[in-house]
Amino acid sequence: MKHNILLFWGCFLPLIYLIGRLIFDGLSANPIEDITHATGWWALVFLLLTLSVTPIRVLFGKNSVLRYRRTLGLFSFFYASLHFLTWLVLDQFFDWKAMLEDVIERPYITVGFVALVLMSLLAITSIYRLRRYMGNAVWLKLHRLVYLILILVLLHFFWLVKKDVTEPLLFILISGILLGYRVDRWVRTQLTRTQSFSEK
Ligand code: HEM
């Protein structure tokens, strides 16, 4: 419990740092762009941290790390919401028509928008009562959407970068390792199941 509280407050550090930069003139000539980039970047980092929990649990045999997954996932949603709000309020000034045009016409905004809608679904269903109401099997199936969200966010990042694609490629590499780990586990489980079935 103590560690989770520490993690909770620690997850605010990127926001505190960003506010510090805003107050003490640490941002560039285009502060809105800086805020959009920082919040989007942290939303993706928290998403990857959330997906790192299971491999860490299995590789190091530490079941206790599972309790941090929900906090990390919710903070990914928190930073993604700030990212979206920056675009909505500071970038588009609530110009709904221009926003709708952006969502329809610019593929990187379209995928970012779909990712955010799906993230909202996962965030809402992470409320304990709703999870209990849904039942574990349905909840787990729904939360597999996290893989689709990750792919959409990677596309969003890759599409928006105009020149140097090193950073999005690095994120794609890390995501590939995390997703590859799941595929490997799934294949192994299927193989074990087939083997035990044929032995019966
Ligand atoms: C409606 C939803 C979204 C909108 C409108 C949106 C919009 C934007 C915009 C305008 C940029 C900067 C583009 C530029 O530099 O030209 C950006 C960058 C980015 N966004 Fe989004 N985004 C959305 C959803 C998301 C979500 C859900 C995530 C992650 C979970 C995300 C992660 C990122 C990342 C990682 C960057 C690049 C940051 C960097 O350059 O370091 N975005 N987004």
Please give the C-alpha separations between residue 74 and each of 11, 29, 71, 81, 98, in angstroms, as whole numbers.
Answer: 10, 31, 5, 10, 29
Predicted TM-score (pTM) of this structure: 0.94
Q: Which residues contact 86 (CB under 8 A, 6 or more apart)?
A: 32, 35, 36, 39
Q: 73: Cβ below 6 Å to ligand 1?
A: no
What is the mean pLDDT of each successive set of 10 residues along the chain, which is 200 residues long? 89 98 94 97 98 95 94 98 97 94 96 98 96 95 98 97 92 98 94 81
What is residue 90's DSSP assignment?
I
Q: Is the CB of 157 under 6 A from ligand 1?
A: yes
Nearest protein Cα to ligand 1, atom 16: 160
Reported as type and span, the H/E element at residue 112 is: helix 107-124
